[in-house]
């Protein structure tokens, strides 16, 4: 999953098969789950994660709401479900904090096979049966593809 700056990242593997006898080439694409190229990185302590999150470019951000999720609006149950799902696919949980606004934010991170750092924030509100998913990456073209992957991982 290597992309030139400014190009959109997709989860497709492009394949070309050459028929040596007919001198023709057959082209096609195979969908590959982006989660297949994520590696669980070394743990980040709270301060290191916050520094990376705050230092990342907001232009390299993609957000959406994931709903409905298990837990029925119970923040602890929903956040545990999300942590388990993301952890099973290489996204390590860095820290969970409860803000003064009553919103619980869980932060996760991963690396792609090409060493692109992926930072994920899941925001939970009491009585809301889902969460807001925000993804930031070292390379902006990865943010939307990774966010779509997180959405897919959280679906039942």
- pLDDT digits 0-9 by tens, 41-65: 777 778 888 888 888 888 778 999 9
Give pLDDT, residue 105. Answer: 94
Regarding the domain with residue range 35-154, which homologous superfamily does it belong to in the CATH classification?
TATA-Binding Protein (3.30.310.10)
Tell me the mean pLDDT in the region 27-34.
84
pTM of the predicted protein model:
0.79
Q: Is 81 exposed, middle or buried (0-12, 13-18, 19+ CB in 10 A)?
A: middle
Distance between CA atoms of residues 122 and 103, nearest Å: 10
Tell me the mean pLDDT in the region 58-76.
89
Q: Dump pLDDT digits (tens) for 92-146.
A: 888 888 989 999 999 999 988 888 888 999 999 999 999 999 999 888 888 888 8
Ranges of each domain in the chain: 35-154
């Amino acid at each position: 999953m290597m992309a030139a700056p400014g190009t959109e990242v997709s989860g497709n593997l492009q394949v070309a098969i050459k028929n040596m006898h007919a001198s023709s080439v057959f082209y096609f694409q195979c969908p590959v789950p982006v989660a297949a190229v994520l590696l669980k990185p070394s743990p980040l302590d709270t301060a290191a994660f916050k520094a990376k999150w705050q230092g990342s470019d907001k232009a390299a951000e993609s957000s959406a709401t994931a709903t409905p999720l298990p837990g029925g609006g119970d923040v602890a149950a929903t956040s545990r479900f999300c942590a388990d799902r993301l952890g099973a696919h290489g996204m390590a949980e860095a820290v969970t904090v409860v803000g003064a606004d009553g919103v619980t934010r869980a932060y996760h991170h991963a690396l792609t096979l090409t060493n692109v750092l992926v930072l994920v924030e899941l925001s939970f509100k009491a009585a809301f049966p889902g969460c807001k998913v925000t993804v930031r990456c070292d390379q902006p073209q990865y943010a939307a593809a990774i966010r779509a992957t997180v959405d897919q991982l959280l679906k039942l």
